[in-house]
Amino acid sequence: MLIKKSPNRLRAVISFLLLALLIFSIKLVLIQIFKSEHLRKIAQKQHNLLLELEPERGVIFDRHMRPLSTNLPAQSLYAVPTKIKNKDTLSGRLAEITGQRKDFFLERLSRKKAFIWLARKLTDRQYDEIKKMNIDGLGFKRETKRYYPDAELASQIIGFAGLDNVGLEGIELNYDKYLKGRLGWCMILRDAKQQGIMLEEEFVPPKDGYDIVLTIDETIQFIAERALDESFKKHNANGASIIVMDPKTGEILAMANRPTFDLNNFDNSIAESHRNRSICDFYEPGSVFKIVTASAALEEDKVKETDEFFCENGSYKVGNHILHDYRPHGTLTFKEVIMQSSNIGVTKVAQILGPELVYKYAKLFGFGSLTGIDLPGEVEGQNKPPEKWSKTSIGAVPIGQEVCVTAIQLVTALSAIANDGIQMKPYAIKRIQDKKGETIKEFFPQEVRKVISEKTASRMKDILEAVVAAGSGRGANIPGYRVAGKTGTAQKVENGVYSHSKFRATFMGFVPVEDPKLAIVVTFDEPHPAYLGGTVSAPVFKKVAEDALKYLKSIEGMELSRLK
């Protein structure tokens, strides 16, 4: 058979091949030159995975290195969505185990990614149940979760850290930059089956966070919280707070508030319980503020302890306002005026001083200014200058009305008397250290100012001791110890007028008088039916001071035995 050659067909085939070669060449050039970086990144995502390595968050210790917050190992669940076959069924099962919504897992598993988090920091039960499923495409990564050994203890001071170990409140938030550490990372090379091999040369280890040592004593904190909680429930109060401070150094040994919450379960707590009332609630203090007027009168040599004041049998007109005493009094000495907490007697002393001196000493004691304590949320309260006083202010400010204070200001002011007239700055952080115990930053007692002379402080100690021994503060008396203190019962303001049913009960004191170790302020918001500072707050002071003194004595005994 004769086959005819067709030149046209041959030329067409060659032309087609040449055109195809040209197209492939152009495509190859585009890929190699113009799209190479884009394609390289896609390949890297498929074969290389950059994993962040979580540092261990710093521990928060009490002053004796007892942990108040620490870290526990926890497993977190991730997935390779492309390897998951029955996404709907798996989503339903994960929802049952974790309590999360099914559509949450379904949405994440539907993403076109090579790595996706499904659940962070599982409980042991959740981890065991998911691991038993043995699902190809699910994996676990070890992390840490924050744990608070004492649950509610010092909750508003410590605060808490969230899911990513980032501080959200309290010291956890305020000192997050020290506690959180620095992330590390490693590169994972994956083969075609998505199996991973860590590349050692591309590995940066995490740097763990620094530890924080507080001035808080865990035992004294427990003593304070136990007593406060019992009385808070007994007296049906809306709120309460207590501060225990070393008056010579300004170190906060305990600080507690009610209501409170469990740090390990903060998601289920109410925001109201998170507030550190000791430093961020301000209020009219009532008669505890009379230490300002009394100290000013002695320091300025305007009165003596034996000077007599007629207390008008319980009713005294100041401007267009009638001032009353809780109990009517006739003639009292200046010392008795403070002992019996006579509003009228203190007002008459203030009238001798004048507004400028009352304001001056209120400012010297720190009222109307921040104490500078190293905890977040402190407010400065209110201390009106004389030009803003009304005609009746001279009968209000000296007895703790028309002025707003915080509990931390009260205990700091009282400590100035206990510390021979010298006011110390309150602080709650003792030092910051690394994991080896090397100090990174240390904090020391800091003198703020000399408020009154040592002589005046001594005279005020005698007067405040008499308040507890034979005056309105008898409920704070501790057998075997000399105790000084002052009661306060303040009417709360409602709709611009003073309420006759809502009060704030306060007692503040220090012990022992001759060598003060503890200065304590206790305040209750709207206790009922009992509402007097001497009835509600003074017994809490007594219980806390008595137990804390026994504890401190036992510590001193242990230290002496070690030295021997």
Distance CA 277, CA 288 (A): 18
Give whole-number Cα distances, 215 to 13, 18, 76, 137, 255, in Å.
91, 85, 35, 49, 11
Q: Name residue, tokens 């199996």.
A: 195
Which residues are CB-neighbours of 548 under 8 A, at least 6 positions away?
Answer: 220, 223, 224, 244, 253, 518
Distance CA 405, CA 432 (A): 31
- 3 state SS for 149-182: CCCCCCHHHHCCECCCCCECCHHHHHCHHHHCCE
Task: Clarify whether 287 is annotated catalytic.
Answer: yes
Give whole-number Cα distances, 525 to 143, 216, 262, 338, 342, in Å.
42, 24, 22, 23, 22
Q: Which of 253, 250, 216 is nearest to 426 (CA)?
A: 250
Distance of CA 412 to the CA centre of its chain: 18
Distance CA 499, CA 57 (A): 48
Determine the residue type at 98.
Answer: T
Which residue among 69, 278, 287, 341 is the active-site one? 287
Burial class (CB in 10 A: 0-12, 13-18, 19+), 363: middle
Beta-strand relationship, 48-53 and 60-61: unpaired
Residue 429 near residue 175, CB atoms below 8 Å: yes
Which residues are CB-neighbours of 363 under 8 A, at least 6 positions away?
Answer: 369, 383
Distance of CA 69 to the CA centre of its chain: 13
Q: Which of 220, 284, 346 is nearest to 523 (CA)?
A: 284
**Phi, psi torsion values for 350, nearest 5 degrees:** -65, -35
Determine the residue type at 49.
Answer: L
Dihedral sign computed on CA atoms, order 459, 464, 468, 470: positive
Catalytic residues: 287
